[in-house]
Amino acid sequence: MTPVLNIFTAIAVSAGAFFFIAGTVGLLRFPDTLTRLHALTKADNLGLGLVVLGLLPLVEWPFGALKLISVWLLVQLSGAIVAQLIADFVRREEPHA
């Protein structure tokens, strides 16, 4: 483990944490369900993506890395689809939104 990779991990994971905080603030502060969903899915995509990117140098190559990447892809898939389902429901319940 080189210092350069350590610094890379620290920066990427911190940036990921920043997106999670931003997503949480958005969830609490945004005015309606659709914009709150937007904030949440951003946290999932970018936040988790950056955390996974930062952790890649620390895990065993290639299977540990592939596991982390698949976790990210699966969370992307479920996050995107759940967001779509909730948005679909909201649009049907409140036609003005």
Partner 1 sequence: MSTVFIFDVALVALLLAVATWIIAARATFSAVVAFVAYGLLLAIVWVELSAIDVALTEAAIGGGVTGMLLLGAASRLRETEAAAVSVGAALRWTAAALCALIAAGLAAIVLSPPSTVFTLAPQALAHLPESGLGNPVAGVLFVYRAFDTLLEKVVLVLVLVGVWSLAPDRFWGGVPGLRVYQQPNSVLTLLAQLLPPLGIAVGIYMFWTGANNPGGAFQGGTVLAAMWILVMIAGLQNAPSTDRRALRLLVVLGPAIFLVIGLAGFTLADGFLAYPPGYAKPLIIIAEAALTLSIAVTLGLLAAGPPERMARR
Residues in contact with partner 1 by CB under 8 A are: 74, 77-78, 81, 84-85, 88
> Least separation, in Å, of the C-beta of 68 and partner 1?
16
Would you say 2 or 92 has its CB closer to partner 1? 92
Would you say 4 or 63 has its CB closer to partner 1? 63
Distance CA 16, CA 70 (A): 17
In sequence order, the 6+-apart residues with CB closer than 8 A to the CB of 40 are 23, 26, 27, 79, 83
Would you say 11 or 77 has its CB closer to partner 1? 77
Instruction: Identify which of 97, 88, 94, 80 has the alpha carbon closest to the alpha carbon of residue 31.
Output: 97
> Least separation, in Å, of the C-beta of 81 and partner 1?
5
In sequence order, the 6+-apart residues with CB closer than 8 A to the CB of 31 are none
> Least separation, in Å, of the C-beta of 38 and partner 1?
16
